[in-house]
Chain A
């Protein structure tokens, strides 16, 4: 048809059409935003590992994560690993989740102690920690309302803030860096380390080096940095998968309800038009296509609006809540598109049934 009938009918009652688009957008936004939030958490979750400079991470046997995990290795393992061919550096670290207190405020952080004060992580302000000092992730420092020179407490011990690092916090965790000796003293774990971060010589691959360490040093699990980060993400992913699935289901149900209601009211208001068009000679399949096109266009507009809104949120939210980072991944957009398609299919059922039953002879009834 050269007359854009579906578009005209959609735009005829703009208020109703816009309400439908907004409702569907809200439902799809739920799916998109939640996925983006969890993707953002995932990205930040491994930020410390990703930027650690290590090619291989060695942990106690059977351990390949940091989140909700403990690992204990004898300090001598670092020296054993450092002596292996292909190893450029073997840096032992101590790690423990800790409550950091600053005045009246408190915040949870991965407290990490190493001999380099967090190198090669860049220090955003101040300097690396020395004995009795601590470097806080910037959002943690803001929450505790402390800055360089301030004092905070961890495990009942005072630390002087020597600087800040940036981009390592999510809504689930933050990071604080101290000297390893300080943390060992606090934990009473002298001679024990949590992980060993290994840098490889240029001539050897991370996978090969991990295998060599695994074979040569007893009682350890050696993972490439990528594999370790992946395991870390999987732990949180396993915890959030059910939530995401539930929210997708909620989004789908709301989307179907809104789109179905819109399609229902729009179709009922247009039944007379359909009868007239059928009387004029419009085939049933063309009438059905007209009805489905309107549902499809409403859902497509809702999807695009949801996409625009989630992009807007991704830009705005981190400014308001720095730990809440939204990462929009192509796979999640594709998933929302699939949900939108399912919503459109389900919502189109009513108009299809109703329009198929339109009696063209009803045009003569008053």
Chain B
């Protein structure tokens, strides 16, 4: 089995046409190894969600290729994509996105049903996954009655139910307190190592650096080298010094800011 799971070549996505055309992602090249955890960071509007949506087969690419385990999903038809998604990807969302009408077990089971596994085997798989995540007493609970941490564990169980090769997590710790955030990070780490799944996390959460094998910085629709980025001394945001909206020379050192507001605040101190 090839160690590289994902190959992305010259990936681009543009929205609108003419004067309203916006290039959300352009010229992305990337390779992801099996079992690797990659954290994608970047400012709001940098194209992270667009990238994640294309990688998950939810959004059509404007140009380029996305090869996953030997299949170019950019070339798959509308009929082929849904079953490919069900078999290949696990999704974890910031808002959990559990189906409120279903119990914890049914939320996991429904993902198995969609992938073609039904009846007793699906129920058993859902039960054992939730039990392994410490939710033994919550199997029949309506998800609305679960805590945020419990909801995220149900969402993770749903994401791995079909043994996906690629797990895509969008801000998985954003709605969790530090305890549950750390627990989610530990779970993601274990998943990658035990199940051999590649995990791509899109997040602003610096704590996730601890579990990531690699951190990518996406800005203006392109990956940038982290080493070339500097930190805004006011808000702490990482920014490209060559494209910083505001800068300041002080004591022979050049300071870069994410906005003029941050620079003004710095000067007012």
Q: B-contacting residues of A (Cβ < 8 Å)?
A: 1-3, 5, 8-9, 11-12, 272-273, 276-284, 286, 360-361, 363-366
Contact = CB atoms under 8 A, between A and B. Distances in A.
Contacts of A5: 99, 101-102, 110
B118 interface: yes
Interface in B46-82: 49, 52-53, 56, 58-59, 78-79, 82
Contacts of A279: 56, 58, 85, 91
B99 A282 contact: no
Interface of B: 49, 52-53, 56, 58-59, 78-79, 82-87, 91, 93-95, 97-102, 106, 109-111, 113-115, 118-119, 122-123, 158, 170
Contacts of A361: 53, 58-59
A8 B170 CA distance: 27
Nearest to B123: A2
User: Could you tell me the dominant secondary structure of chain A's interface residues?
Assistant: helix
Contacts of A3: 102, 106, 109-110, 113
Given A5-B110, A272-B97, A284-B78, 13 more contacts: A3-B102, A8-B101, A8-B102, A12-B100, A276-B98, A276-B99, A279-B56, A280-B114, A282-B82, A286-B114, A361-B53, A366-B94, A366-B95
Contacts of A11: 101
B93 A2 contact: no
Given A12-B101, A276-B99, A279-B85, A363 B93 contact: yes
B100 A281 contact: no
A364 B102 contact: no
Contacts of A2: 109, 113, 118-119, 122-123
20 contacts: A2-B122, A2-B123, A3-B102, A3-B109, A11-B101, A273-B99, A276-B98, A277-B114, A279-B58, A280-B114, A281-B114, A283-B82, A284-B82, A360-B58, A361-B58, A361-B59, A363-B91, A364-B53, A364-B170, A365-B49
A1 B113 contact: yes
A3 B83 CA distance: 18
A286 B113 CA distance: 12
A12 B100 CA distance: 8
A363 B101 contact: no
Contacts of B106: 3, 8
A279 B95 CA distance: 14
Among A11, A279, A286, A360, find the residue whose CB has the most chain B CB atoms closer than 10 A: A279
Among B98, B100, B119, find the residue whose CB has the most chain A CB atoms closer than 10 A: B100
Contact of A273 (B49, B101, B118): B101
Among B95, B99, B119, find the residue whose CB has the most chain A CB atoms closer than 10 A: B99
